Each structure stands twice: as structure tokens, then as C-alpha cells.
A and B are shown apart, each in its own frame.
Chain A
Amino acid sequence: MFAVIYIPDFFLQAQLRDPHDTKPTALVKTAKKSNDSKARIMALNQAARDLQVETGMTAAQGQARCGELRILHPSEEAEAEAQRILLELSVSCSRDFEETGLGICTLDLMGTRCGDEWELGWKLVEELAKTSSLRAQIGFAETPDLALMVAQQADPVRSIAGESDDEFLQQLPIEALNPPPDITMVLTLWGIHTIGDFLALPQGDVAERLGPDALDLWERVSGKKSRLLRLVRPPEDFSQTVDFDHEVDTLEPLLFMMRRVLETICARLAAAWLTAGEIRLALHFARGGGYERAFRVPDPTTEVELLFRMLHAHLEDFEAKAPIITVRLEALPARGAKRQFHLFEPGLRDPNRFAETLARLEGLLGSERVGIPEMLDCHRPDAFRMRPFQEAITDQKSNAPKPEKSFRLGLPLRRFRPPIFANVAVSSTDQRPIQISSVRVKGAIADCRGPWAISGDWWAKESRWSRKEWDVEMAGGGLYRLACEGKDEWKVEGIYG
């Protein structure tokens, strides 16, 4: 016997988990078909249905029917979370189950002691409602496909296992079969509205007229054919969470606990012939909030000492905002590194050591300040991003623009890093700088060239910029590059020669 847990309007339910929320709501999605770029409603709640909003309408049509209609868009995160809950529930019932689709799990109950299917069905429905506010429908039947059809029609539990299912099937709408669109179109033209109508067609004629796909449907729905489940094996859990009895405000007890947790996780990994490819650390603070950090292990390993040193190095300079009450460690499993270096390609002698050093640096400087600087493709001088080293190791390709080749040989510019802030007096007639006052450069300006004006990102309120640059010759000697950003923010950026 098979059971199907079916969550109707899954994409919507994944986001609408508040049972008291009765505002009419629709979820819209843009079809990937080239001839229909409009976002169409793909799921609705009952309140919206009551107001005659229908799936397949555009958002505007839906709002025409119901001015108050709330429009949601698919959320991958919410869907993944809801699916995770569904899988967890499935695995608690049967080891042999299939993740049939988003919001659909098919369970093979053969060999399980599930007892009465009605009882089991209600239990599953209630558990989902209680723990996650997801509304489920459960169907039981002798084949997976029939069980799915039963689930789609259940209210909320229905079983046709061991019964004569003719009457039930007769009444099911043909859509319950989810036939391919071209077959649906022909069946609609034929006036075939129910599975009963469909089954009433001679099998040979169905095959002759609609092809093998339709025949397959016909055989599956008539119970003449059952398919095998594509079984899901849940991933092993390589994480552990420790809640401290007392608030921890020093490093030592935290490290002590973390070493023990690492030992456990590494033992589990080793038992599964796996290694740790990444360690994720999560700390929860007593006053709310927390800290999360992922450590990529360049050379995946189960060596506790090495992993521990990586965490230790990072936490040495870490300052928690509040005492810690919970620590959680999770290892993302990986197979052992398999990498063949090219003949002249130098490899890191000890990638994990390198990672450990990076972790220490990030702890000291902040993660946004460690990596490989990469120029951005824009006119803004020195605009760059930091590409993580780990990314650089695993992915040698970069989309960053190559530095422009300059053919013009002039005086070299030695940049001040960071630039020196300066007060600059400008001429009232032409706004040229005439006097500089800064820690390094002071005095009157004898001559200047410029301004070189550049600006960009004018469309983005938060990042628009503009600057003017001048090359100045000081009366006392020395050629400098001067830049003014914003209204009056002057900097000496470098010295020529």
C-alpha cells in the first residue's frame, strides 16, 4: 500500500503559514514560455477563491476580481523549508519514500507497522498543522499514482486501498492525472472530463490516437501498471548543538565544548567514509542575536586537531556581543580532495594551514578585508571587490576586467594609501585649488591641471558618486594628485615622480 502526503497550493502555503491570515492572497509566477511573459496566478487561498479569483489569471485580472488581493511571489527559501518539514515527516513514517514533487511525498507502507491508514492519515495531517501550520491531504491506494490522485481529492484523508475503487475514480477530474498539455487538449476536445470517462475509452484506441504517453497514463490509472518509487535517502546529520547550562563569557569553555563536538562529528563522518568540506559555526547570545560563520576546508579532512585549530584561530580575536548560551557546529561532508595539478602549477603545500591563517586574519581584520582584490568594471577609480581566497583556489576563472594597458609614459604616480585628507582653498573665479593644507603637503599651489571629472551610478541613490581630480604643482616643489569628492572632501592621492 502506498500513501501520498499532498500539500495543496504548496507554493502559497509555504509562505502563508499563519492559519489566522484570511486575507485573499494569490501567488504569481512568470511562465518560462517565450510567448507569455506575463506573471500568472498559480496558487490561491480560499479567501481569494471565494472572490472568484482563478488560477491562470494575470495578477491584474486577479486584482480586477478582488481589489484587496495580496500578490505573493515564489520564495525558494520558504519552499525549501516547507519541503524539509514534509520530508522529515515522511521519513518518520517510512524509510522507503519518494520526493514526488514540491509539496508531494509518496510513501511505501509495505513492511511498516503503520496500523490503520485512516488513523495514520489523520495523525500526519494534525502533526503538520500543529508543527508547521501546513494543511495537508493524505491519500492511500494500492499504487503510487492512484494514491496521489486520492490525496489530491482527499478531505483531508481518504483511502481506497483494498476497496473497489471504480466509483471514486470515475468521478475524479481528468486534471488529477496531470496529463501532458497536448493530451489534455485532445481530451478536453473529446469532452473527457473525468478519469471514468477516460477509462471508458478503449485502450487500443487511446494508444492509437494519443500515443504511448496516453497509454501509459491509461494503464497506470486503471491499476494495470505500477511504477517504482525513486526512493529518497535522507542525508546523514553531521551537526550538533550544545546548550550551555550557564552563560559562557570566556573562550576556554567554548573551545572545550567545541573540541568535543568536533570529535563526535568527525567520528560520524569517518564512519560514513566522508570528510569535512566546510564547518559551519553558529553562536547564540544570551541577549538575543547570534553569530554565524562558515569555514571552507580547502583539503577536506576528518582530522579533529586541524579543524579545531581553524576554529580556534578565528575565535581568538573574536569578541562576542554578549555571553554565549548555545553553540552549534555542522560539517558539510565532502569526498576526499581529488585534484591533479598541472606540471608547472604550484599547489599549496598545506591548504588547511593556509585556511587556518586566513581564518586568523579574518578574525583580526573582518572577513570583508581578506581576499583577492578584484577591479570592478566601472569608471570609479579603485573600485574593487574582495574575492575570497577559497573561491580563488577552487575557481581560477574570474570575470573581473583586466587592468587597462596604459601606453602613455609619464611621471609615475606614487599613491598614498590611504589618501591624505586635506583642506584646500579654491579660487573664487574658476574654482581652481590655490592652497593645500594637510599633514603631508602644505602650501600654495603654483600651477594646476584639471579638473578631470568623473561620476557614475547616478541612478542609485545609495551609491552615486562624482569626483574631480587635479594635478598640482606646489610652490615649494612637488607634483601631487588632488581629488575632490562630493562637495568639499579633498584628498591628496599621490605624488608624481
Chain B
Amino acid sequence: MADFIELHARSAFSFLRGADHPEAIVREAARHKMQAMALTDRDGVYGSARAHFAAKELKKEHGKDFRALIGAEVTLAGEAVVPILVKSRTGYQNLCQLLTRGKLRGLSETEAQENPLLNPRKDGRVTLAEVEEFADGLISLTGDEDGAILKALQRGDTDSAEKSLLQQIHVFGKENVVVEIHRHHLRGEEWINRHLIDLGDTHGLMVICSNRVESANRQGRFIADAFTSLRNRVNLDTAGKLLARNAETYLKSPAQMTALFADRPEVVENTLRVADRLEFTLENLGYEFPKFAAPAGHDEASFLREEAYRGAIKRYGEITPKIRKQLDHELGLISKLEFCGYFLIVQDIVKMAWDRDILVQGRGSAANSAVCYCLGITAVDAIGQKLLFERFLSEGRKTWPDIDLDLPSGNRREAVIQSVFQKYAPRGAAMTANVITYRGRSAMREMGKVLDIPEEILGRFSDTWGSSAINDTDELHQRMLEAGIAEQHPRLPALVHLYQSVYSLPRHLGQHSGGMIITDKQLDTVVPLENATMENRRVVQWDKDDCQDLGIIKVDLLGLGMMAALQDCVELCRERGRPIDLAQIGKDDDPATYDMLCAADTIGVFQVESRAQMATLPRLRPRKFYDLAIEVAIIRPGPIVGGMVHPYLNRRSGKEKIDYIDDAFKPALERTLGVPLFQEQVLQMAMIAADFSGSEAEELRRAISFHRSEERMAKVMSKLRAAMDQKGVPAGTQDQITGSIESFALYGFPESHAISFALLAYASAWMKVHRAAEFYVALLNNQPMGFYSRATLVKDAKAHDIRVRPVDISVSEVHCTIEADQIIRLGLNQVKGLNSQTASRIVAERKTNDFISLEDFLQRTRPSRDARRVLAKIGALNVLDDIKHRRNALWKIEKPLLEPDDLFTWKSRSELAKKDAAEENSPLPEMIPFERLQADYDGMGLTTGPHPMAYAREYLQHETKMWRASDLALGEPDQLVEIGGLVICRQRPGSAKGHVFVSLEDETGVANAFVPAETFAKYRLVITREQFLIIRGRLQIKDNVTSIYALHAEQLPWKNAQFQTQSHDFH
């Protein structure tokens, strides 16, 4: 047993003040045979959850008892820092509240001025009085050179040092102040240590040693120095004495610390004494999900039953014995597991949305529950779809059920979030954090900056390689050379080292897109809260996985663009007198909808519009709802075009025999023809093959869905193999099972998710077939969303016989509108640079009186100069009597606008009209069609006229032999062809082994190209940079799917064609 415990250590969660992951520090401490270690991140407990899990893992894997102790370095007003350790749960709650107090208040104006490097909204300071208020249950250390005592001693001011110590004793009590001494091999520290020991002896305080750790090992100094430079916004060359003097602040072993303090063994032993007093770990967090306030005469269970049955009548009309049996079964289990309150609270949030006429739909495994369906939480009829409730809740599964709520993105989701904040105010609700880590781009940019590498080289690296993860040192080295760093650059080795070391370390804390945690007690006693960047939002200091692991229940309030579009669609249909009920349209399998899906005519359709999905649809040929759920789940773009057709598709088309690996798997895999497609099936396989218990299956589920760690996956797989060995499963079968599970991890999808998404996919496909005008209008009004740009959506609408009329100030509303069944009108929201206030003003003024002339329009609506120009450019002003064409408008709007005065205001409308008619016409020529096209793209990013490729084809007719997208189906397989068009999508899925998928749009449709990795490597820059491309290659036609196997790529030789377009790249 080691006789030293490190009680003062910072991890990278101290953001630019620590150099290693908490897990790495904990593992190193355990390797040194310490029994505990305290993590004291700066102004937060950010890393404590990770340290806690690392300690639990140690116990699980190696049987080591290791306690991850909690603490934090708290910054006081005046910038002195006090390290604080947590003794008890009260202490933890106090620390959380103390930190929250400072963080939510932010910096005062003076503090912000004095510390320009801090973020006034997110960094906070606490007063000594506040520390005193929350001192119970806490132990404080005298700290390091950032603390008041050491600062004073470094100045030689022993009186001030003692005064600060006395203050600390007054705040925490004598028994809770511990003197901390360091030996970092620095000249002068012994003088300070002697004084600290004297102070300790004088006031009867315990003295301990610590190494004030910043990293797990000596190499951490490099990152620590780089972070110091970043924090101070200087580079390493100019950082001077801001940098560390040596590399001694790493986690030292008890043996090293004992040797260092051989002359004072008691300060080493005292660390154990202090650690013994620290009873609290996150094991005893004390979080409770809020209780639901049931109405009088009810408890939670009875009220849930009543609500469920009330909902069942609404949903089913009549409660059959089958329904009753299922509901009773579910309610019994929910009640037994004491989850009734949780269901009611989630329903309460759903009701908040309903009250505001906001569409809401639960997804996740909740879709397996008839109770959730009846409560209105989900839209999937679990009984009708024959979904097993046990996949959602089972007696063996102790974790909280996972219910995610999809809401329309934008203001509507924000309204629901704010309602939840208000309901649990003031400190009962917060968003979970999202830890932003260093990735390729940020790692290179920031490490390059501290090494003073030219911006331009860093930019070039980021442009070409920023999005890819480069783990191999040689490859990274090579990529850096390609970005322009000279082979002999003296800083290249340091850059490679820093890049690799910083990769994956936390960079800053963001806000999770929708994860909310709530409690009816004070959430700031569970975890510190801080301000999010968004106004009126607060976040906790842990991310969603950490929260989940600690048993904190989160409800995901996710924003889906398609939900917003569907809600708009429904409203439009109602307004136009042909209402639809979303719940009803999914009930019948509509042949027209499936015909469209089979034809892969799915631009704009939820989930099945991607390039890969479109390539799969004609092969899978969905004819019923469950087929669509499979289609949603079977996202494997790489193998499909790469020649390796998915085994499910082969089996479905009869090209491959159905094989269950083992007959025992038949019940689990039958519905997907022996291929595990859904998460639930994989878990069942593990339970059958390796007798996995419920909790082990849960562990596997989390490993599959956990993107955080490959290590976690490897661990579970070895466990699975060991269990199968024990059960005597033959090696070949084991390989098949583990192989299918591992490949599943790349593309896996839970069945309930797939079904929930399939509902939206079906609804949106149905809308596209039966309510096309409403569908496209809703999509356009909710951009950006989905896969395609507005230009592509407009083009698709036209392909479906929808007439898209341009923006016109005399008729366009703020949003796009429907003028007739097959005619839509673009709204003012499509105009770039026209703000919503001006758009609303235009509409409001027009409703008062029509605009009779340009001057009338400008005087009444007062658009900015840029707004005037863009409206004139896109032809939106052409409707005015005195405007002949776009250039005419552009000429006239440049004339300075007179301020309205008395003379003007009483001028009659007829006079105005007369005056404008008399105005001379412009000397400018009318725009030619190509100029109009460019103006449309500049002003709106789309055109209602011909596609740019129609012009390009005319221009290039003698130079190229480009095939039109619509003609490709007429070609012969393996025929050499050339396609050209506007790049609308570039994809490089992780599962596609470096192959890339490029979609080119022309005036007839979209042509897809598969670019093998080696061809992509050759034409990387051309493919990633050019707006218009020509691709030559072999035509592939298989199962009604047409694509080009690319052999060559080049830019379209069409000069002067610059369009403001957007492509969907590498998402």
C-alpha cells in the first residue's frame, strides 16, 4: 500500500491549465498504487465524473479499490485561487453552489476590464463571504503560486501571507485548512516551504506535500506550455517566463514523493490522513428525478393509469382485451420500477408543446411502449407494430428509460425549452454540456499558432486535411509536408508531437443540442451550473454521457427540421381546406407513396434522401411500413456502390441464401432475413450465444452506441468471446457473430428509432406525393435542413410539375406560399440580405395600400441600400409600374431617397404616380438570361429559371460530350461516359474506406459518381474545390441504380461562371 495520495491535480478539464485526460491521471495514480487521488480542476468539477468512472473501471477490471476524490481550485475576487477538497455530501453540495454562484454571476465590469483574456459571461469569481457561506464540509489547501499565501511569500511579504492564512482559517475553521508544500526542484522554493511549515506550526495546521499535478507524466509539460501560451495569447517564443521552468509538475509516484520529502516523512503521511477525511465520491451524488404532483385523490401510479387509459380511448377508439392486457402489463412494470413520475413528467413536457400547438414526437426505445403511445409521447403504435415492450423496459434493467422528444427546430423548440426552464425555475433545470475536443482542424491551428507556423500553411492543412483524423505519425508528417511545411523545418517534430498530444483533449465546453436535466430540488447542489453562450440558457459542467453514467436523467428535446416542415405542411393543408391527420396517414400503406420511394424520387424526404439511401431504395423496393424502417436503418453507402451489396438486399432479392448463423438466432433475426440490422437484435444474439445477462447486454448496447471509445467496444467483445468460449460455441460461429456485431457498430440503429424515423420518412414521402405544393413550401421555409440546397429543392419541385414563381414585392409574403395546387410563390425569406423586419414591413405596407411606384415603395418600406439592390437584382421590383426590367430597377434605386417631409406626405397617390411615370427610363440594357441567372443565385442562392448547366451545355457544346443525367439510364453498363454538373454533394462515409461519393446536378436531374479512394487521392483538390465538375468514368447500372465509377475528374471549362451555391460536403 502506498503512503502518499495526490490531493492537488488538474486535468485538461481545467481548460488550458491541465494537460491530460482525468482518466489518464487516475490510471497513472492507480499504476503507482495510490488508493485515491483528488482532482481539483479550475473553477469546476468538469473532470470529476470521468475520474469517477475511471476509478470504477479499475475496480471492475482489476479489482482495485480506487477513490476519485472531488475538489476544485476556486478563483476568488482579486484572482487569488484556493484549492478546495470535498469531505462530505454537504461539502459537495456547497462546492457546487459556490461555483454556480460565481459562474452564473459572471465577471463584473471592472473584473472584465482587468482580465481581458477571460469570458465575462462564463468565467466567474466568488467573494470570501460566499466561500464562508458554503464552507461547511470542505477542506481548503494553501495552494500554489496562484494562491494569495504563496503570492505573498514570493514577494517576501510574510505578514501578508500570514494574514491570508488567518482569513482562510476564519472561513474554513482551523481543522479544515491544510498547508500544502511542493518540491519542483526550483531554487527558492525551500525558503517558501520553510515559511509555510512555520506558519502551519504556529497555527497548529496539518502540513501535506503535493506535486500540484498538471499531467500524468513528464511529457505533459509540452502541452502545458502550449496551453499557457494559448491562454495568454502569445506564442512559445514570446511567452518567456510565463512558461514552466521545468517538467516536474507531473503525477509522481509515492516512492518519488517519499524520496523528495525524505527529510519530512510526516508531510507525505499526512496526505493519507487528509484523504481519510474525504468521504465523498460521486457514488453518493444524491440526485433525484422530480416527483410528479398528481392531482388530489391520486398517487403517481393511479394517475398514470388514468392518463394511459384516457389516451388509449383516443388512440384506439375502443379498448380491446389485447390492448388492455398490454397496458396493464406495462403499467404494472412501470409502477414496480417506480418510473410512474418519470412518464408523467415527460408527458407533461409533451403537453407543454401541445398547449403551444407544437408538434412533438417521442423516439428512442420508448416507441416500444403502448403506454407512451397512449400518453401521446410517441406516435408509434407499439401494439400494431408488434414491438416488444421488454426492449424498452424490463425488470432486469435498472437504468432509467430513455425517451427523446423530437420537436420542430427553431423558435418552436426554444419555446418548449424555455417553458421547462420556467417550470423548474430558478435552478431546477439546465442543459447538458457538450465537451468540444481538439480535432484535426483546431489541433493544427492552435498548436501551429503557438509554434508560430505561418497562418497560411495552417490554413492549407485545415482546408485539405482538417476534417480527417490522422493517427499515424508518418502519415501526419507527410500531410504536414504537403501543406507546405519544409521537411527540415526545425519545428516540425514539435508540431507533430503537440498535434498528436492535444488531439481529443477537451478544448471548451459547449451546449448539447437538446439534452435537458431537471430536478425538483436545486440542481446546483448536484452539479455546478454555468451560463451557456445562448441567452437564457444554462448548462451543467458535465456532458450527456457523464450525466447518464451518474444516473442523472436527461430528457432530450431535439430539434428536427423535418418536424418543423411537417407541422407547417399540416397547417398549410388545413388553411387550404384539405386537412390531413399525421396520425392517420401512416396507417394505410399508400401504393403511390411506395412507388415514389421505390423510384428513389426522394429529394426532401426525411432520412431517405441521402445519396446512399437513394441508391438502396430501388434495390430494397419498400412496399410496407416495416420495409421503410429497414431502409432507414440500412445506411451502408460504402459497400453498396463499391460492389459489395448489402447481404440483406441480396437475401431480399433472392440472390443469397438466408442464413441465421445458428438456428438459435432465428427468432431474433427472422424479420431481417438473418442479418442483424437493429441494436435489439444484436443484444438478443449476445444473450443467446453468450448467455449475457441483462446488465451485460446493456453494457454491449452502450459500447455499440458509444462513439467515445473504441477501447470500450474492444473490452465488451473480448468479454463476449470469453463467454462464448465457456459455452463451447465453435470458433467459426464466434467469428461470424463478433464480425456481424462489429460491423453493426458502424451503422447500427435501434429498431424503435428506425420506426420513429420511418414514421416521419413516410409522412414526408406521403406529403411529397399527395401535397407536393405544401411539402415544398414547408421545406423551403425551414431551410437550412436536410441534404439539399434550396436550389435543388426548387429544381425538384419543378420536376414534379410545380410552378415556382419568383419573389415579387406585390404578392410575396414573408414566407413562401401556395398560390394554387401546383403553383408556389417564393417568399421574401428567400432573399439574401433582406432582414425579417424589412420583409414584414413590406408585407404590412402592401396590405395597407398597393405600391404604385418605386418611390412609393421605397418611401414606405425604407429598405437598406443592400436590400434595395438585392430586390432589384432578383427582379422582385419589376412589378412596379415604373420599372421595366431588373436593370431599370437597379438604376432607379441608386437615386438618393429623399426624406419624407410635409410636402411629400400630403402628396396624393395620383400625383406620385404621375411624377413617376414622367421619370426617365434608365440608359442601362436589359439583363441577358445568363445575367439573370447569376443575379438569382447571388440574391437567393436559387433560380426559378433554367439550371446553370443548360447554359454551360450550350456554351461547351463543341468542347465536351457530357451526358445529361437523365440519359444515363439509357447507356450500357461499363460504357465510358462523361458527366458534368454543379456539385451538390460530396460524401466520404467512414464505412467507405476512403471512397468518395459525388453528386452532380444538371438541368435534367442528378448524376451520381463513385470516386474510388485512389482516384480521389489523385484529384483530391479538384473534387473538393471546384464548383462545377466533369467526371469521366464507367457507367454502372445495377438494380435500377445508375452511377459512374469515376476514372478522371476535372473542372468544367466554363469561365466566368461563379454562382453562390451550397453543396452538402463531408457531413
Residues of A at the B interface (CB closer than 8 Å) are: 28, 30, 37-39, 52, 58-61, 63-65, 67, 71, 73, 186, 189-192, 200-202, 205, 208-210, 376-379, 401, 407-408, 449-456, 458-462, 466, 468-469
Per the bound structure, the CA–CA distance linking A209 and B1026 in Å amounts to 37
Report yes or no: B1051 in contact with A469, Cβ–Cβ below 8 A.
Answer: no
Cβ contact of B456, chosen from A59, A209, A460, cutoff 8 A: A59
What residue of chain A has the Cβ atom nearest to residue B489's Cβ? A461
Report yes or no: A455 in contact with B246, Cβ–Cβ below 8 A.
Answer: yes
Which residues 482-525 of B sit at the A interface, judged by CB distance below 8 A? 484, 490-491, 493-494, 498
What residue of chain B has the Cβ atom nearest to residue A201's Cβ? B923
Chain A nearest Cβ from B343, distance in angstroms: 50
B707 within 8 A of A: no
Interface pairs (7), CB distance under 8 Å: A37-B459, A65-B1022, A65-B1026, A191-B924, A209-B894, A460-B237, A468-B185
Which chain B positions have C-beta within 8 A of A30? 455-456
Report yes or no: A458 in contact with B894, Cβ–Cβ below 8 A.
Answer: no
Report yes or no: A459 in contact with B451, Cβ–Cβ below 8 A.
Answer: yes
What residue of chain B has the Cβ atom nearest to residue A39's Cβ? B456
Report yes or no: B890 in contact with A190, Cβ–Cβ below 8 A.
Answer: yes
Cβ contact of B896, chosen from A52, A208, A466, cutoff 8 A: A208
Cβ contact of A64, chosen from B156, B222, B887, B1022, cutoff 8 A: B1022
Report yes or no: B1024 in contact with A64, Cβ–Cβ below 8 A.
Answer: yes
Report yes or no: B1021 in contact with A461, Cβ–Cβ below 8 A.
Answer: no
Which chain B positions have C-beta within 8 A of A450? 185
What residue of chain A has the Cβ atom nearest to residue B236's Cβ? A459
What residue of chain B has the Cβ atom nearest to residue A466's Cβ? B246
Given contacts A30-B455, A65-B1051, contact A451 B1025 (CB under 8 A): no
B907 within 8 A of A: no
What 9 pairs between A and B have smallest CB-CB spacing? Answer: A407-B156, A377-B240, A64-B1021, A64-B1025, A209-B894, A459-B494, A453-B185, A452-B187, A461-B490
Judged by DSSP, the binding face of A is mixed
B245 within 8 A of A: yes
Chain A nearest Cβ from B671, distance in angstroms: 48
Which chain A positions have C-beta within 8 A of B895? 208-209
What residue of chain A has the Cβ atom nearest to residue B498's Cβ? A459
Which chain B positions have C-beta within 8 A of A189? 869, 872-873, 890, 935
Which chain A positions have C-beta within 8 A of B655? none
Given contacts A64-B1022, A201-B923, A453-B185, contact A39 B459 (CB under 8 A): yes
Given contacts A191-B924, A407-B155, A460-B491, contact A452 B1026 (CB under 8 A): no
B900 within 8 A of A: no
* 1/0 contact string of B911-925 vs chain A (CB within 8 Å): 000000000000111
B578 within 8 A of A: no
Given contacts A60-B460, A64-B1051, A202-B923, contact A460 B490 (CB under 8 A): yes
Which chain B positions have C-beta within 8 A of A37? 455, 459
B299 within 8 A of A: no
* 1/0 contact string of B152-190 vs chain A (CB within 8 Å): 000110000000000000000000000000000111101
Which chain A positions have C-beta within 8 A of B891? 190, 209
Chain B nearest Cβ from A407, distance in angstroms: 3
Which residues 873-895 of B sit at the A interface, judged by CB distance below 8 A? 873, 887, 890-891, 894-895
Chain A nearest Cβ from B483, distance in angstroms: 10
B191 within 8 A of A: yes
Which chain A positions have C-beta within 8 A of B894? 186, 209-210
Which chain B positions have C-beta within 8 A of A452? 185-187
Which chain A positions have C-beta within 8 A of B190? 449
Chain A nearest Cβ from B754, distance in angstroms: 39
Chain B nearest Cβ from A200, distance in angstroms: 7
Which chain A positions have C-beta within 8 A of B451? 459
Report yes or no: A191 in contact with B887, Cβ–Cβ below 8 A.
Answer: yes
Cβ contact of B459, chosen from A38, A202, A209, cutoff 8 A: A38
Per the bound structure, the CA–CA distance linking A58 and B1025 in Å amounts to 10
Chain B nearest Cβ from A88, distance in angstroms: 33
Given contacts A60-B464, A60-B1025, contact A191 B925 (CB under 8 A): yes
Report yes or no: A60 in contact with B1021, Cβ–Cβ below 8 A.
Answer: yes
B241 within 8 A of A: yes
Chain A nearest Cβ from B1030, distance in angstroms: 12
B463 within 8 A of A: yes
Per the bound structure, the CA–CA distance linking A64 and B1026 in Å amounts to 8
Report yes or no: B456 in contact with A459, Cβ–Cβ below 8 A.
Answer: no
Chain A nearest Cβ from B326, distance in angstroms: 59
Which chain A positions have C-beta within 8 A of B186? 452-454
B708 within 8 A of A: no
Per the bound structure, the CA–CA distance linking A200 and B925 in Å amounts to 12
Report yes or no: A454 in contact with B246, Cβ–Cβ below 8 A.
Answer: yes
B1055 within 8 A of A: yes
Per the bound structure, the CA–CA distance linking A458 and B243 in Å amounts to 11
Cβ contact of A28, chosen from B456, B872, B887, cutoff 8 A: B456
Per the bound structure, the CA–CA distance linking A37 and B187 in Å amounts to 45
What residue of chain A has the Cβ atom nearest to residue B221's Cβ? A458
Report yes or no: B1024 in contact with A458, Cβ–Cβ below 8 A.
Answer: no
Chain B nearest Cβ from A409, distance in angstroms: 9
Given contacts A190-B891, A191-B887, contact A451 B1021 (CB under 8 A): no
Which chain B positions have C-beta within 8 A of A468? 185
Report yes or no: B1021 in contact with A459, Cβ–Cβ below 8 A.
Answer: no
Which chain B positions have C-beta within 8 A of A379? 241, 243, 245
Which chain A positions have C-beta within 8 A of B247? 455
What residue of chain B has the Cβ atom nearest to residue A456's Cβ? B243
Per the bound structure, the CA–CA distance linking A192 and B1051 in Å amounts to 28
Given contacts A190-B890, A379-B241, A453-B248, contact A469 B187 (CB under 8 A): yes
Per the bound structure, the CA–CA distance linking A376 and B185 in Å amounts to 22
Which chain A positions have C-beta within 8 A of B887? 190-191
Which chain A positions have C-beta within 8 A of B188? 408
Which chain A positions have C-beta within 8 A of B890? 186, 189-190
Chain B nearest Cβ from A31, distance in angstroms: 12
Which residues 909-947 of B sit at the A interface, judged by CB distance below 8 A? 923-925, 927, 931, 935
Report yes or no: A52 in contact with B1053, Cβ–Cβ below 8 A.
Answer: yes
Which chain B positions have C-beta within 8 A of A38? 459
Per the bound structure, the CA–CA distance linking A201 and B222 in Å amounts to 65
Per the bound structure, the CA–CA distance linking A65 and B459 in Å amounts to 18
Report yes or no: B459 in contact with A67, Cβ–Cβ below 8 A.
Answer: no
Chain A nearest Cβ from B34, distance in angstroms: 23
Which chain B positions have C-beta within 8 A of A58? 463
Per the bound structure, the CA–CA distance linking A200 and B922 in Å amounts to 12
Cβ contact of A458, chosen from B191, B222, B237, B923, cutoff 8 A: B222
Which chain B positions have C-beta within 8 A of A73? 456
Per the bound structure, the CA–CA distance linking A459 and B894 in Å amounts to 57
Chain B nearest Cβ from A431, distance in angstroms: 12
Which residues 239-257 of B sit at the A interface, judged by CB distance below 8 A? 240-241, 243, 245-248
